[in-house]
Amino acid sequence: MKKTMACVAAGFLLAGAATEPSAIAAKKRNKGSVKKEAFGKTKDGKAVEAYTLVNKNGLKARIITYGAMLTEMHVPDKDGLLGDVVLGHDNLENYLDGHPYFGVTTGRVANRIAKGKFILDGKEYTLALNNDPNHLHGGTEGIDKKVWSARVSRSKANPAVAFSYTSPDGEEGYPGRLKMKVTYTLTDDDELQIEYLATTDKATPVNLTNHAYWNLAGKGTILDHVLQINADHYTPVDATGIPTGEILKVDDVMSFIKPTAIGARIDKITGEPGGYDHNYCLNKKESGKLSLAARVEESTSGRVLEIFTTEPGIQLYTGNFLDGTEVGKGGQKYEFRNALCLEAQHFPDSINHSQFPNTVLRKNQKYTQTTIHKFSVR
């Protein structure tokens, strides 16, 4: 059944989930630490820096100025041993050689735009077809491939770094000069908080997200990770990953309302290479408010990840295109379905679907988004 509005339904608390995260609350805590280091240079000689945030419990997040990218996230297991739970590379050179968007800030428009075209205020715009036949994650040289400026945030009670980049009018075919700031904060409640802010001098579509690849065991398959997504509906797609325009109720294959192993029904998704790569329409009591979106648990480590967001959707991607050719940290080969992505976002190709939540940012408006990754053990 086709619907003509975003999914905003009565919310519920997922089983075993925490209460609303406290990262937004104004509480005075220990400041933790922020360490800045050099992380190499781009091919045109631009210096790239790495910032390591550590909270009072020893959790550690590392973000680099190339792509405002999360390259490491060290969290404890049930025995208290820290482990890195995101995929990536040990050095800048491997990122520069190309990678599947490990941990990057994606945009201007994350996800796909059909055939790289959209009409805004009566004018047609044409973008790069870098995911033939569509446009993906901001284009050939999107914001994930730019060197951002960074500064340690002095106003936070917890370790935080703000990354900034201004995309000039016409970059990758998008209209308007878009100023962006993405702030990473690591709280002493073991939450990695990501706050987004953008302004423009001309109407333009905006849909920013983080593209971290998660594996709570640190290695191996994610098919036994148990997932819940707070969504009764999703947006089905065609063979090229573009939404059909429908908003459908999740069926037995697509539903993660109840805790379900990712691999339980994944083989029932037909197509090549198969697997989940779908946008879920989050149940929300009120549009734009921070609420629980998803929960992931991995039994051998006991690690739990909960995601809270102000966004209306979240994209589940199960590493369907990983094939062992990508060699990452410590020489580890990233094989088929060795990671999952949970990308808080507006719906894919929203600019071409008036019934989807609006992604157009206009002059004198502000784009804001908050997404929180809360870590715990069970």
With a CB cutoff of 8 Å and minimum separation 6, the contacts of 128 are: 116, 135, 139, 140, 172, 173
- The CA angle 278-282-286, to the nearest 5 degrees, is 155
Q: Is 170 left (phi over 0), alpha (psi -120 to 50) or beta?
A: left
Q: Give me 64's structure tokens.
A: 């680099």
| Structural contact between residues 295 and 14, judged by C-beta atoms closer than 8 angstroms | yes
Strands (E), 230-325: 233-235, 248-249, 260-261, 277-281, 291-297, 303-309, 313-317
Q: Tell me, yes or no, if 137 is annotated catalytic.
A: no
The catalytic residue among 49, 171, 191, 343 is 343
Nearest C-alpha neighbor of 350 from the set 126, 1, 104, 112? 112
Give yes or no: 343 in active site.
Answer: yes
Q: What's the length of the chain? A: 378
Catalytic residue among 74, 89, 137, 211: 211
Q: Give me the active site residues, please.
A: 211, 343
